[in-house]
Structure 1
Amino acid sequence: MVDHARAKKLAKRISTIVATAIELEIKDPRLRLVTITDAKVTGDLRDATVYYTVMGEDLNTEPDFQGAAAGLEKAKGVLRTKVGAGTGVRFTPTLAFVQDTVPDTARHMEELLARARAADDEVAKAAATARHAGDADPYKTADHDGELQSETSGDDD
């Protein structure tokens, strides 16, 4: 029987254990700028997927994604041992590390929103100086004598 609440609780605990171990216990310099963002555990509690992001040394430096992936793969056994000791479950889940694409997706969405705002500003500027193609009031009505006049002409009889 699948217990989703238990799987979520275990996933949260696994992400905490792995993040703490990477920060304090694993001495691999490739993992220095790795941040654990999330973890998911299957319903049978046998497999865990740990999501991570990698930062650059500074804003102008590209992150070392391959180095971080290799470092996590090398530390997988130690991290699984830490997870087993820290969770106390009968079967320690296998760990799979997946690069989290949420920050990249968020940055892409921000770029799209900025382009949409710029397009909206251009449309607003064009609309401010725009004029009607024909008469300002294209709807004509007949007065009492049968002559056509505008509805907004204001002639009161």
Structure 2
Amino acid sequence: MPQEFSRTERVADYLQQELAKLLLHSVRDPRAEFVNITAVDVSRDLRYAKVYYTKLGVESAEAATDVTRVLDKAAGFLRTEVAKGSSLRTVPKLTFKFDESVGRGRHMEDLLGRARASDALRGNEAEADDS
């Protein structure tokens, strides 16, 4: 019977939960406030993990460079804390990346809203012309 989830997926889920807790309770830098961990990609050998995050009010990777720098600086501390609270033989080396998909999603939703409003306006004009 095949496993429902691979080990890398289980480790990624565990890291996502633990890092979110640690950022909320243990990291004291104000630049790391309101950071949300959106995903974690763990390499097949479990040595490296890319941690994707968003921050409230930050829409682009350029604006998040300062936050990324802070998180990269705290990576050693976070890795140590995860190791203390887990039974993992080795904890992956953490690198942080800003997740731009949330900002792109908001932009697409805005464009769709504008298109719907434009279509509704055209529909009202067409009904007025038919009368």
TM-score bracket for this pair, using the shorter chain length: 0.7 to 0.9
Distance 2:82 2:32 in 1: 17
Q: Does 1:13 align with 2:34?
A: no
Q: Does 1:29 align with 2:30?
A: yes
Q: Match for residue 126 of structure 1?
A: 125
- Paired-residue identity, %: 37
Structure 2 residues without counterparts, runs of 5 or longer: 58-62
Distance 2:120 2:27 in 1: 51
Aligned residues: CA RMSD? 2.0
Give the match's secondary structure for 1:12: helix
Q: Match for residue 103 of structure 2?
A: 104
TM-score normalised according to structure 1 size: 0.68
Q: Does 1:95 align with 2:99?
A: no
Conserved? CA contact 1:10–1:87, under 8 Å: no
Conserved? CA contact 1:13–1:87, under 8 Å: no
**After alignment, is 120-129 or 15-24 more displaced?**
120-129
Aligned residues: 122
TM-score normalised according to structure 2 size: 0.80
Distance 1:34 1:107 in 2: 17
Alignment of structure 1 residues 38-117 onto 2, 5 Å:
38-56=39-57, 65-117=64-116
Structure 1's consecutive aligned runs of 4 or more residues displaced over 3 angstroms after TM superposition are none
Task: Give the number of the structure whose alpha-carbon radius of gyration is greater.
Answer: 1
Structure 1 residues without counterparts, runs of 5 or longer: 57-63, 132-157
Q: Which has the higher contact order (CA 8 A, sep 6+)?
A: 2
Superposition deviation, residue 46 in structure 1 = 1.6
Give the match's secondary structure for 2:122: helix
